[in-house]
Amino acid sequence: MLNVIWLALLAGGVLVAALDGQVEVVTEAALGAARGAVEVCFDLVGVMALWLGIMRIAEKAGLVEALAWGLRPLMVKLFPSVPPSHPAMGAIILNLSANMLGLGNAATPFGMKAMRGLQELNRDSDEASEAMCTFLALNTSCITFIPATIIGIRASFGSANPTEIVGATIFATSCSMLLAVTVDYLFRTRSCWGRKNRAD
């Protein structure tokens, strides 16, 4: 699936540029983006190190475990393939909490930590496991109580009430979370997209 999308983006781009007689745009965009991608990763290095460092302290103090224990009944339902006391559970909870509070740059490191935990349990390390798919469904659709970035932008343009959209985002993200979890559940339980059915 990703192979098809990736190819379609590239081929579509080159084709349109060629038809418009400005094919050189492609070269510039491709090289610029390649450099930009590395910059994004290096921006991440510091933030990742900070949050994973703090998280390690929390783990050693038993905080992460305590948090995971509290939400255990729900987590076991969402992630039946992950042992309830597995460290990935704690990282998933931290990632989703950070998302809900609009702390985007804290969410990413916790998310990667969770993925690493889930990868330990994965049977085929090249292919996404069910638990990974569920986690990403929750992550991308996650209910947001505080859309921090956008509130900041609204305030900077002199909005009379920068936070007035909070109710609307809570509504919209509740809808998307509900739907994403349902779709994920359907795929997971009655999937024709199972591991045996490989597109590539």
Partner 1 sequence: MLIDFLTQVSKWAIPLILICIPLYGSLKKVPVYEAFVEGAEEGFVTAVKIIPFLVGMMVAISVFRASGAMDHLVKALSPLLTAIGTPAEVLPLAIMRPLSGSGVLGLATELMRVYGPDSFIGRLASTMQGSTDTTFFVLTIYFGSVGVKRYRYSIVTGLTADISGLLASIYICNVLFR
Give the separation between CA 180 and CA 172, rounded to whole angstroms: 12
* From 67, 69, 119, 121, residue interacting with partner 1 (rule: CB under 8 A): 119
Q: Under 8 Å CB-to-CB from 80, ≥6 apart: which residues?
A: none
The interface with partner 1 within residues 86-115 (CB under 8 A) comprises: 101-103, 106, 108-109, 111-113, 115
The one-letter code for the residue type at 36 is: G
Distance CA(32)–CA(41), nearest Å, equals: 15
Q: Which of residues 137-196 bind partner 1 (CB under 8 A)?
A: 137, 139-142, 144-151, 153-154, 157-169, 171-173, 175-177, 179-180, 183-184, 187, 191, 193
Closest CB 75 distance from partner 1, rounded Å = 18
Q: Does 30 bind partner 1 (CB under 8 A)?
A: yes
Distance, CA of 125 to CA of 122 (rounded, Å):
6
How far apart CA 94 and CA 110 sit, in angstroms, is 6
* Residue 101 Cβ vs partner 1, minimum distance, rounded to whole Å: 5
70 binds partner 1 (CB under 8 A): no
* Helix or strand (DSSP H, E) at 68: helix 63-70
71 touches partner 1 by CB under 8 A: no
CB of 65 to partner 1, least distance (A): 12
Q: Does 67 bind partner 1 (CB under 8 A)?
A: no
C-alpha distance across the termini of the chain, in Å = 9
User: CB of 155: closest distance to partner 1 in angstroms?
Assistant: 8
